[in-house]
Amino acid sequence: MKQKSWFSSLMSFAAYCKGKIIASVICSVISVTAGLVPYLSVFQILKAFIRNQTDTGTIFAWAGIAAAAYLVKTLLFGISTALSHVSAYIILEKLRLRVANQFLRAPLGEVTSKPIGEIKNMLVDKIESIEPPLAHVIPEVSGNLVLPLISLGILVVIDWRMALVSLVTIPLTMLPFSMLMKSSENNYETYMKSSNRVSSVIVEYIEGIQVIKTFGQAGTSYEKFSKAITDYRQFILDWMSATWVTMKLCAALFPSTLLGALPLGLLLCVQGALTPAELCLCVMLSMSMIGSLAHIEVFMNEIKQMSFVVEEAQRFLDIPELSEPAEPAALNGTGIRLSGIRFSYTGNPIDEVLHGMDLYLPQGSFTALVGPSGGGKSTVAKLIARFWDVTGGSITIGGANIQDMPLSQLSSLVSFVTQDNYLFRCSLLENIRMGKPGATDGEVRAAAKAAQCDGFISKLEMGYDTPAGEAGSRLSGGEKQRIAIARMILKDAPIVILDEATAFTDPENEDQIQRSISELTRGKTLLVIAHRLSTIKNADHIVVLEHGGILAQGKQEELLRDCPLYRDMWQAHIGSKSWSVSGKKEAVSHV
């Protein structure tokens, strides 16, 4: 498929505010045209003065026309820039929302494969950096192109030679300008990569500060952090040093239209081909082109910068997304069937982590997946939630293939609880409400009570209104886990997947978490990936996975009798639990 040009991409973003952009351009063109009226007014006054036909009325009339035109110019320019700024921020808003929405529709691996610093750099810094070009290029490019054309047209009417000589420096400017643009073309991609690297290193350094301190790696990590910033600075300095000569040449030659216009104008005036008034008008029109030409030079650089950002944003928007039908699928219950599923994170059959697995989870049943690390347990859970699509076989819920369901329908069917519990930057009340955005405060509190959260939240000074960031440092892992479970209780999805949800729970919290999980899973189709085998010993169905396939399945007693791997895992778990209990008793006896 042919990749969209950056301009086509930008126009697709601008479609949200097409009317405002057109109005901005029209106001800008009228504004710059009105800006030429004072020159014509001065011309008329000079002409009358030279002919000795001046009087107070004539002077005040043309001065009034010039003042009115200047007022129109200023007013319309203000309206134009206001409309363009509003349009720019609408485009930025829509662009950010489209990129974020694309992440929701893309396979999880496509998102997590990109460094967090690169994503942050795009969503925050780079998209923001195109606001000034958007806000000013949209109205001002049109105006600054129209003004020289009008000025040139008037010069042609007065004397074609004056029009021609006013353009004499433009060919001289093209050589350094083309060199400048080529340098930008060669260096801007490197600049973008350097900027992404700096952002990624900064985010990595801040996010890993606890590990850095714990393992005494502050020196090494800081050196990496410092080197990235120093290299970025050096690259910018080298780039600027290599282009400052061409930049200064452009700045010197672009506004030099007067160097050709004034000498020739004086010569033509002496020869009688121009009147003194016409000479003054020609000089003023020639000078009026200076600002426009200088602006166009700046705009060309800004447009180049904008093109790179838009192209990179388009690459995010072109991330492959999960297929999604428009209409919801008809379901017959919430039983889950995995039929011959195969999966490879890379798409290469050699790297398959699941090899033709068949499994059925009846509606309302409690199924547990156990087995050695790397056996495919979490992969199965994530495939059911459709974080990825299977590379072979199919997964159905209620008889409907999950690939034939809108993502919103699948999301409403499945609650997914992991050992990683992220709290968003809002109150604890709002963190829980994310499970059901329309829930009342009463419903949120009821879910929190069911998840055994109400006790510790009520002890906080601000209770449910405590900001999650402030509370995060005071909440244990088990308490954060219960907040995540409260979200799922509030969501009330018919299928619940627990991915090692109690793997790292402290003993003090385990009993309360188990009670909150019991509340969450009552009457639901439950799939548990178990680390602590004691939590799934009463499961309806236990499936032992090894090397991406099913080694054995059945109830606890059957597996203990027939599956040596499960029996060894159970003995190791019981031994570990006994060791933990005896160690705790011993510790208590010494207090």
CATH code of the domain containing 511? 3.40.50.300
The answer to whether residue 472 is domain-embedded is no
Start-end of H helices in 318-337? none
CA separation (Å) from 161 to 197, 265, 282, 284?
Answer: 54, 9, 11, 16
Maximum distance among all alpha carbons in the chain? Answer: 121
Burial per residue of 284-311, b for 16 or more beta-carbon CB atoms within 10 angstroms, e otherwise: bbbbbbebbbebbbbbbebbbbbbbbbb
Write the CATH number for 306: 1.20.1560.10
Residues 503 and 412 in one domain: yes
Partner residues linked to 541 by β-bridges: 367
**pLDDT of 7-63, one tens digit each?**
777 777 777 788 888 898 889 888 888 888 888 888 888 888 887 777 788 888 989
Same domain, 368 and 254: no
In angstroms, the CA 18 to CA 26 distance is 12
Listed residues 253, 286, 317: the one ending a domain: 317
74-83, 242-251, 282-291, 312-321: range with lowest mean pLDDT? 242-251
Residue 525 lies in a domain: yes
Q: Report d(CA 22, CA 397) in Å as an integer.
A: 50
Task: Work out the number of other CB atoms within 10 angstroms of the CB of residue 557.
Answer: 9
Q: Tell me, what's the pLDDT at 416?
A: 85
Question: Is the same domain home to 52 and 114?
Answer: yes
CA distance 370 to 537: 11
**Is pTM beyond 0.85 here?**
no
Query: What is the percentage of the chain residues whose pLDDT exceeds 90?
Result: 16
Q: In what order do the strands lie in the sheet with 495-499?
A: 414-418, 495-499, 525-529, 366-370, 541-546, 549-554
Q: Is the pLDDT of residue 577 over 60?
A: no
- Same domain? For 292 and 376 the reply is no
229 and 284 in a common domain: yes
For residue 467, what are its two tokens?
């900001």
Most confidently modeled of 238-242, 368-372, 509-513?
A: 368-372
Residue 485 CA to residue 497 CA, distance in Å, equals 11
Q: Give the span between the Cα atoms of 146 and 136, in whole angstroms.
A: 15
Are residue 304 and residue 212 in the same domain, yes or no?
Answer: yes
Task: Tell me the two tokens of residue 555.
Answer: 């109830």
State whether residue 341 is helix, strand or coil: strand
Torsion of CA 496, 97, 99, 388, to 10 degrees: 10
Position 544 scores a pLDDT of 92
pLDDT value of position 586: 39
Predicted confidence (pLDDT) at residue 109 exceeds the cutoff of 50:
yes
259 with 341, same domain?
Answer: no
* Residue 451 covered by a domain: no
The total number of structural domains in the chain stands at: 2
> Do 410 and 528 fall within a single domain?
yes
Inside any domain, residue 137:
yes
- The pLDDT assigned to 125 comes to 77
Are the beta carbons of 336 and 361 closer than 8 angstroms? yes
Asked whether residue 370 is assigned to any structural domain, the reply reads: yes
Could you read off the pLDDT of 361-388 as tens digits, one per residue? 999 999 999 988 888 888 999 899 898 8
- Distance between CA atoms of residues 355 and 365, nearest Å: 24
246, pLDDT greater than 80 = no
DSSP H stretches of helix in 208-275: 209-214, 218-253, 257-270
pLDDT of residue 236: 75
Instruction: Please state the rounded mean pLDDT for residues 302-331.
Output: 82
Identify whether residues 228 and 106 lie together within a single domain.
Answer: yes
Average the pLDDT over each of 108-117, 435-444, 472-481, 571-580 and give the range with the smallest value. 571-580
556 and 537 in contact (C-beta within 8 Å)? yes
- Are 300 and 340 members of one domain? no
Residue 209 binned pLDDT confidence (cut-offs 50, 70, 90): low
Q: Give me the pLDDT at residue 571, please.
A: 87
CA 215 to chain centre: 33
The answer on 413 and 364 residing in a single domain is yes
User: What is the pLDDT at residue 360?
Assistant: 93
Q: Is residue 181 part of a domain?
A: yes
Together in a domain, 528 and 488: yes
Mean pLDDT score across all residues of the chain: 80
Task: Provide the domain limits for residue 377.
Answer: 336-422+481-589
Whether 476 maps to a domain, the answer reads: no
Domain final position from 261, 284, 317? 317
Asked whether residue 152 is assigned to any structural domain, the reply reads yes
